[in-house]
Amino acid sequence: MKYDVNQLTLEEKIALLTGINEWQTSSANGKLPQIFVSDGPNGLQMFDENGVRKSATAMPALSLLAQTWDKELAYLDGETIANDAAEKGADILLAPGVNIKRTPLNGRNFEYFSEDPYLSGVLAREFIKGVQSRGIGTSLKHFCGNNREKGRRVQSSEIDERALNEIYYRPFEIALEAKPWTVMCAYNPVNGVYASENKKLLKGVLRDKFGFDGLIVSDWASVQSSYKALKATIDLIMPYNEDTLPNVKAALEKGYITMEEIDACVTNVLKLIEKVQNANKQINYTKKERHENAVKIAKAGITLLKNEENILPLKDGGNYLVVGDLSKKPIGGLGSAYVQTDYEQKTVTELLQEKLPNAQVGYDKGACACADWAGANRVKLEYAKRCYVEAYGKDAVVVFVSGDTEGESFDRSHIKLKREYEELIENLLKYNKNLIIVVNSASAIDMSDWIDDVKAVVYEGFSGEGTNEALSSILVGETNPSGKLAESFPYDLDDTFTGDYAGDGFVEWYNDSIFVGYRYYERAGIDVLFPFGYGLSYSKFAYSNLKIEQTDKTDFTVSYDITNTSDVDGAEVSQVYVKDVFSMVVRPEQELKGFEKTFLKAGETKTVSVKLDFRSFAYYSTALDRWHAENGVFEIRIGASSQDIRLVGKVNIELEDDEQQSQAFVYYNN
Ligand code: GLC
pLDDT digits (tens, 9 = 90+) for 219-262: 999 999 999 999 999 999 999 999 999 999 999 999 999 999 99
Q: How confident is the model at residue 374 (pLDDT cuts 50, 70, 90)?
A: very low
Ranking 128-132, 360-364, 413-417, 663-667 by mean pLDDT, the lowest is 663-667
Q: How many whole angstroms separate alpha carbon 554 and alpha carbon 27?
A: 51
Protein residue with its CA nearest to atom 6 in ligand 1: 220
> Looking at ligand 1, which atom is closest to the CA of residue 97?
9
552 catalytic? Reply is no
Q: Please tell me the predicted confidence (pLDDT) of residue 49.
A: 82
Look at residue 659 in the predicted model and tell me its pLDDT: 76
pLDDT value of position 370: 42
In the reported structure, the alpha carbon of residue 97 is separated from the centroid of ligand 1 by a whole-number distance in angstroms of 10
- pLDDT average, residue stretch 30-58: 94
What is the pLDDT at residue 43?
98
Using one digit for the tens of pLDDT, what is the confidence trace for 69-94? 999 999 999 999 999 999 999 999 99
| Cα-to-centroid distance, 110 and ligand 1 (Å) | 14
Rounded mean pLDDT of 329-343? 97
Q: Is the pLDDT of residue 520 over 70?
A: yes
Model confidence at 369, in pLDDT bands (50, 70, 90)?
A: very low
CA distance 369 to 402: 13
pLDDT for the residue numbered 666: 41
Atom from ligand 1 closest to the CA of residue 336: 12
Q: What is the pLDDT of residue 656?
A: 87
Which bin fits 91, alpha (ψ -120 to 50), beta or left (φ > 0)?
alpha
Is the model's pLDDT at 384 over the cut of 80?
Answer: no
Q: What is the predicted pLDDT for the residue at 658?
A: 77
Question: What does the pLDDT look like over 199-211, one tens digit per residue?
Answer: 999 999 999 999 9
Ligand 1: which of 185, 219, 238, 240 to mutate, judged by most atoms within 8 Å of the beta carbon? 219
* Ligand 1, atom nearest to 45 Cα: 12
At 99-146, the pLDDT tens digits run 999 999 999 999 999 999 999 999 999 999 999 999 999 999 999 999
Hey, which residues does 323 pair with through a beta bridge?
364, 399
What percentage of the chain exceeds 70 in pLDDT? 96
pLDDT of residue 329: 97
Nearest CA to ligand 1 atom 12: 336
Distance 31 CA to ligand 1 centre (A): 28
Cα first-last separation, the chain: 35
Checking if the pLDDT of 149 tops 90, the result is yes
pLDDT of 162: 98
Residues in contact with ligand 1 (CB, 6 Å cut-off): 39, 94, 141, 219-220, 336
Q: What integer pLDDT is reported at residue 661 of this predicted model?
A: 65
**Nearest alpha-carbon partner for 96 in 70, 69, 114, 84:** 114
Ligand 1 atom closest to the CA of 187, numbered from 1: 8
* Nearest residue to 449 via CA among 474, 476, 414: 414
Residue in 47, 81, 93, 94 to alter for ligand 1 test, most ligand atoms within 8 A of Cβ: 94
What per-residue confidence (pLDDT) applies to 663? 65
Give pLDDT, residue 371: 45
Residue 662: pLDDT band with limits 50, 70, 90: low
User: Which residue's C-alpha comes closest to atom 4 of ligand 1?
Assistant: 336
Give me the helix-helix angle, 419-428 and 381-391, nearest 10°.
50
Q: Dump strand ranges (E) for 503-625.
A: 507-509, 541-550, 556-564, 570-580, 591-600, 605-612, 619-621
Q: Is it the case that residue 354 has pLDDT exceeding 50?
A: yes
Q: What spacing in Å lies between the alpha carbon of 296 and ligand 1's midpoint?
A: 27
Supply the mean pLDDT for the chain: 95
- Residue by residue, DSSP assigns 189-250 as EETTEEGGG-HIIIIIIIIIIT---SEEEPPTT--S-HHHHHHTT--BB-S--TTHHHHHHH
> Quick one: which of 194, 95, 72, 80 has its CA closest to 141?
95
Selected catalytic residue, list 84, 91, 219, 364: 219
pLDDT band at 667 (very low <50, low <70, confident <90, very high): very low
Is the pTM for the entire model greater than 0.85?
Answer: yes
